[in-house]
Structure formats: C-alpha cells, structure tokens
Amino acid sequence: MQIERWSSSGQGRSRSVAYGALVWTVANAIDTSAGFEAQAIESLGMLDSHLMEAGSARSHLLSLQVILSNIENRGTSDRLWQEWIGPNPEHWPQRACFQSTLTPGLLLELIAVAAPTSTGHITNA
C-alpha cells in the first residue's frame, strides 16, 4: 500500500496524507488578520478543498479536532460547524474542541480524518 502526500506551504509537513482508505488533513485560515468568524469560514472552505482533492468529502469525515486559540470562541465555532456539516447525523464525525496556543494571529486549526467517497482508494491526482 502506498502513502500519498499533498504538499504544504510549510517546510517539513504535508497538508494531507492518505494511506489505504484513510486521509488525514489539516486546515487553517491563510488570512491571520481576519476575525474569528472569517478565519473559521475560510478554514472550513479549505477543509472542503483538501478533502475533495484527496477523494473524500465532509459527509465522509470520521474525526475532527477543532483547536481554538481562545475557548471563548467555542459558541461561534459550534454554530458555524453546525451550519457547515448540516443536519444529517449520518454525516457527523466524532468531534473534539479544545484550546491551545497557535501561531500568532491564527485563531483556529482543524485536524481531520476521513474515508474516501468511493470504494476505490484515495489517489493523489
């Protein structure tokens, strides 16, 4: 089984990695001058893009970790998450939300594990 990697702009790390029928990916806003809600929306959009390029989708998320630089943003994070993931509980992953120190200006980071949308394996196109 081959390990597939999608490059990141950061040295020493990949934005997504696939092995077998699983993909691991991370997403965070590029615009660190934006407020929390704008960064959260940008991060969710990036997560969609990363999943799609790896042959997955939000409906196939298995696990999501939401790291907040300030836990007081959890209410806004939860609201935006619920709007993004939708009302179907069959699409809801396991999710954890916690506070940690992030790069200056970065207000949240998303770490996800997903399954492919088809029965085939994930491919790095």
14-18, 50-54, 97-101: which has the highest mean pLDDT? 97-101
Residue 100: both structure tokens together: 């940690």
Checking if the pLDDT of 12 tops 90, the result is no
Residue 25: which of 33, 36, 37, 17 has the closest Cα?
17
How crowded is residue 32: how many other Cβ atoms within 10 Å of its Cβ?
A: 13
> What is the pLDDT, as a whole number, of residue 121?
47
Q: What share of the chain is helix, strand, coil (3-state, %, to 5)?
A: 30, 30, 40
Question: What pLDDT digit, counting tens, does each position of 70-104 carry?
Answer: 999 999 999 999 999 999 999 999 999 999 999 99
Which DSSP letter does residue 54 get?
Answer: T
Residue with tokens 């994930």: 122
What is the CATH number that goes with domain 3-114? 3.30.1330.40
Delimit the domains of the chain by residue range. 3-114
Query: pTM here?
Result: 0.90
